Each structure stands twice: as structure tokens, then as C-alpha cells.
Amino acid sequence: MAKTDSADDRINATRVKLEQTTSNLVNKLELLQDQLQQTVGKVRRSLDLRYQASQHPLPLFGGCVVLGFLIGMRGARRALADTTDRYARKATPSKPSKWRGVQDSVSGELAALKGIALGAIVKTVLGMVREALLSSPRARYRAGHNGKSEVYDDRRL
């Protein structure tokens, strides 16, 4: 009987250790799940443009200015390279082409169109950023909002 009692004691001790290990694992998994949810929340908040714009408006504006400057400098470098190429072609004698005069006369207009397009893009992006920064989601709807947008209601009248 002594052997069965010691075997039962070992089995019970093993059960107790197993239960403790299981409860420790459950606690660690719950802690890990909480940390994961907090991390996901932080990542979502850091990628939320409206929140970041409301918390850090000046760095966002500065970034837009720097980005616009870099885009403008890229266009200026291209225009300078085009001008340099044009003068280099004029300086080197080559066989005159029928289309050379047309290309030279149209290149200025194409450069102007590129500038206009770039200006329109920058203006649109700045307008979107301004609207995201200055307008709150609640301000877009009238009081007594019934689920339809005010744009739709205004068109109906």
C-alpha cells in the first residue's frame, strides 16, 4: 500500500504542477493579448491621418511645403536640362529637319502645360489637407441629419 500511496502522491503533485502551469500559460496569453490589442490601437492611431493632422498640424504643413519644393526643384532641373539640350543642339551643326522648328515651338507650350498640371495637383492636395484639418466630421451634416447627405438634399430642391 505504501507504493500506491506514493504513486498517488506523485500523480497529485503532477496534477497540481500541470494546473499551475496551465493557469500561468492562460495568464501569460491574456497579458500577451492585451499587449497586442494596445499595439494594434497605437498603430491604427499612428496611421489615422485626421488624428495625426489634428495633433501635429505644423509638421504636416512643413512636410507638404518641403514636398512641393522638391517637386518644383525636380521640374526646374528638367526645364534647365531641356534648355541646355536645346542650346547644345543649336550650337552643333546638324542636318536640319522639317520637324525641328515645330518641336522647338511646341516645347514651350508643353512645359507650360506641365506647370499648369502640377499646379492643379498641388492645389487639389492642399485643398484636401486643408479640408481634413479644418472641418470636423460632424460639421458636414445639418442638424437633424436623416441619413442623406446635404449635397443630395440640395440638388433635390
- With 0-12 / 13-18 / 19 or more C-beta atoms within 10 angstroms meaning exposed / middle / buried, residue 129 is middle
Question: How many structural domains is the chain composed of?
Answer: 2
Domain with 7 in it: 1-47
C-alpha cell, 39: 499595439
Separation between Cα atoms, residue 32 and residue 121, nearest integer Å: 45
Determine the pLDDT at residue 157. Answer: 46
Mean pLDDT by 10 residues, the chain (157 residues): 77 92 94 94 88 87 89 76 69 60 75 86 88 67 53 48
Residues 65 and 86 in one domain: yes
Identify whether residues 27 and 76 lie together within a single domain: no
Is the domain of 75 the same as that of 31? Answer: no
67 and 123 inside one domain:
yes
